[in-house]
Amino acid sequence: MRIKILVVTFLLLAVFSCEFNKSVSKDLTTSLTTKGDGLSCDHVSLSDGTNKINRNSFVYGEKFYLNFNNIKGFEKVKNSVFPGMKLLILGKKGDTVMFSNDLYADNKKGFNVSPLLLQSVITVANPIHSNNEYEIFVNI
């Protein structure tokens, strides 16, 4: 059974940023849409952890990654950045299927790497069900 992630939307908002970067991008193959306001990102993509994925349908039990490559615009504190990543998955009727207020809440040391890659891993499993469509929203 296939599960369709119909529209994958990423909202990159400048919570910690002092730059004024605005951008909008859409991948017509995956329906991946990005909106940047204060942060910039070289590339946003789906992958299996190693290889890029160019589709928006997944099999129950499959794992995929949301990759944000070379994010810029964070305010540095002692040469490190402390991003947060909110994840929301909505069902077809707008019901909340999955929610995390901050996937990076446990990261107390921050990131001191360049280029900065942030990832979210999603496993297509309960409460996500076959033959349904979902929207994913990520707010960094």
Highest mean pLDDT, choosing among 55-59, 72-76, 98-102: 98-102
Q: Which residue type occupies 83?
A: P
Q: What's residue 22's pLDDT?
A: 65
Q: What's residue 104's pLDDT?
A: 93
pLDDT band, very low/low/confident/very high, at 21 (cuts 50, 70, 90): low
pLDDT band, very low/low/confident/very high, at 41 (cuts 50, 70, 90): confident
Enter the pTM of the model: 0.79
Residue in the structure block whose two tokens are 């947060």 = 84
Strand segments, DSSP code E, in the chain are 2-13, 22-26, 33-37, 40-47, 52-53, 57-59, 63-72, 86-91, 96-100, 117-123, 133-139
| CATH number of the domain bearing residue 89 | 2.70.50
Q: Is pLDDT above 80 for 14?
A: no
- By residue range, what is the domain housing residue 75? 2-139
Provide the domain count of the chain.
Answer: 1
